[in-house]
Amino acid sequence: MRGVNVSPARPVVLRDRQPRDLPTLTRWLTDPQAEWRRWDAPYFAAAATNKTMRAYAQYLAQNGPDADERVIDVDGVCVGMVNRSEEEPVGGGWWDLGILIYDPAAWGAGTGTRALRLWVADTFEWTNAHVVTVSTWSGNERMIRAARRVGFRECARVREAYAVRGQRFDSVKLDLLRAEWEAR
């Protein structure tokens, strides 16, 4: 499957997953050497992540689109996905967002920032969200920068919570209130 050269001028679209996306998603999800795995929760054991990703690829193949996840599309090519889940208690107004760009060719051109901005807008439009959060680790500086560009602020940090490749990193959570989003 072809990669995509993403420049800031190329539009980023969030859309429902389509059957044509499954080969691309399966390839990215089930490749244990995929570069995205170095950045998305690399503190989990590789064997467990491999098993989880294979099961998720199977789930995607067997189930239709979900309102709480979308494909990140650049020029008709699936380069990643966004997702969201409501934190307990249901109805309380707290939604946690996730973003993952699988294709390294789409990194560094603002794709993640644009996708996150679209996902925040969608979440505030279609859910009862009062606050949205993203969670990452201090080694994922691109994710932290993207969240800050969209308007998120750091709200929690657990120092040296994760060991990654022999080094300690912090757990980082950032939040954005609906009122802050609407004031932008």
Cβ(150)–Cβ(134) below 8 Å: no
> What Rg, from alpha-carbon coordinates, does the chain have?
16
Q: Is the pLDDT of residue 65 over 90?
A: yes
Would you say 115 and 99 are in contact if contact means Cβ atoms under 8 Å apart?
yes
Cut 0.85: pTM above it? yes
Q: Give residue 163's pLDDT.
A: 96
At 132, give phi and psi (nearest 5°). Answer: -120, 150
- Say what angle helices 141-150 and 111-126 make with each other, to 10 degrees: 50
Predicted pLDDT of residue 8: 58
Domains and CATH numbers, the chain: 12-183 (3.40.630.30)
Residue 5 in this model has a pLDDT that exceeds 60: no
Inform me whether the pLDDT recorded for 2 exceeds 50.
no
Work out the number of other CB atoms within 10 angstroms of the CB of residue 157.
12
> What is the model's pLDDT at position 84?
98
> For 86-131, what is each residue's pLDDT tens digit?
999 999 999 999 999 999 999 988 999 999 999 999 999 999 999 9
Angle CA 6–97–175, to nearest 5 = 105
Give yes or no for a contact between 46 and 70, defined as CB atoms under 8 angstroms apart.
Answer: no
* Structure confidence by residue, pLDDT tens digits, 19-42: 999 999 999 999 989 999 889 988
Average pLDDT across the chain, whole number: 93
CB neighbour list of residue 177: distance below 8 Å, 6 or more residues apart? 130, 131
For the segment 152-171, what is each residue's pLDDT rounded down to a tens digit? 999 999 999 999 999 999 99
